[in-house]
Amino acid sequence: MTHKTRGIVIRVVKYGETSIIATIYTESFGLQSYLINNVRQSKNGGGPGNTFQPCAILDLVVYHNELKNLQRIKEYKFAVLFDTIFTSVIRNISAQYIIELFGKSVKQTEHHPDMYYFLEDTLLHLDKADDYIAAGLPLYFNLHLSGLLGFRIIENYSETNNILDLKEGSFKKEIPGHPYYLDKKLSALTSELLKVQQPVELEQFNLHHETRRALLEAYHDFYRLHIHDFGKLNTIEVLKSMQL
């Protein structure tokens, strides 16, 4: 039996001489792995294999068997043709970071449409965003994804609760007895970022690249503290190097 679903490509690995295994987050089945045969035959880099690249949003017709770890795809095509994500350096770096963060954070195969819609909506906004929103979207994505994963930062910031304890995921009155916290300035900024509901609202944040870098490092620590074997994001250093 086949099913129609949208899916966002998370990662791709080569399999044999002409095939790939694509990890795709689907609207209908959550995170799934698909074996796609005969998509790496073109020597000039063109052909159907280019459809399966991280960030691509696809319309799929899939075979699904809950007893199998590796599924098959019957039909596939682009659901969205991005205008800038694959051509703009800033947007591509931000997109690759978002996809890597998502891939390291979401490890279970489960039906979670809100998670899918959030990832798709973020990528669609990123594709249309100006440079400053594009640079700020990874921060927005960090904070809101953690909420969907079940370990969001509690928004209890106040004049007295003005130190963000990354271990506890809440704002405290005093500096904790460990190194995983944000100072008052970055804590206040995180509180404001937590209130952002749509990416366009990031226009009001004119963040210096050093500030974004410090927040990215802190949010990276936050994920490592709350997700077992999270490891290190390969894209974070490239993202931190953006000078906007």
Question: 3-state secondary structure string, the chain?
Answer: CEEEEEEEEEEEEEECCCEEEEEEEECCCEEEEEEECCCCCCCCCCCHHHHCCCCCEEEEEEECCCCCCEEEEEEEEECCCCCCCCCCHHHHHHHHHHHHHHHHHCCCCCCCHHHHHHHHHHHHHHHHCCHHHHHHHHHHHHHHHHHHHCCCCCCCCCCCCCEEECCCCEEECCCCCCCCEECHHHHHHHHHHHCCCCHHHHHHCCCCHHHHHHHHHHHHHHHHHHCCCCCCCCCHHHHHCCCC
Residue 187's pLDDT band, with cuts at 50, 70 and 90, is: very high
Examine the domain organization and report whether 117 and 54 are in the same domain: no
Examine the domain organization and report whether 156 and 98 are in the same domain: yes
Q: Quote the domain boundaries for residue 40.
A: 1-81
Tens of pLDDT, residue by residue over 61-87, are 999 998 899 999 999 999 999 999 999
Tens of pLDDT, residue by residue over 119-128, are 999 999 999 9
Residue 41's pLDDT band, with cuts at 50, 70 and 90, is: low
The whole-number pLDDT of residue 206 equals: 83
* Overall domain count for the chain: 2
Examine the domain organization and report whether 180 and 118 are in the same domain: yes
Examine the domain organization and report whether 89 and 48 are in the same domain: no
Q: Mean pLDDT lowest for which of 32-46, 55-69, 185-199?
A: 32-46
pLDDT(47) > 60: no
The whole-number pLDDT of residue 243 equals: 66
Q: Residue 71's domain is classified under what CATH number?
A: 2.40.50.140
Examine the domain organization and report whether 38 and 132 are in the same domain: no
Examine the domain organization and report whether 88 and 62 are in the same domain: no
The whole-number pLDDT of residue 81 equals: 96
Examine the domain organization and report whether 105 and 126 are in the same domain: yes
pLDDT(244) > 90: no
Examine the domain organization and report whether 53 and 75 are in the same domain: yes
Last residue of a domain, one of 30, 46, 81: 81
Query: The pTM is what?
Result: 0.93
Q: Mean pLDDT lowest for which of 58-72, 114-128, 139-153, 228-242?
A: 228-242
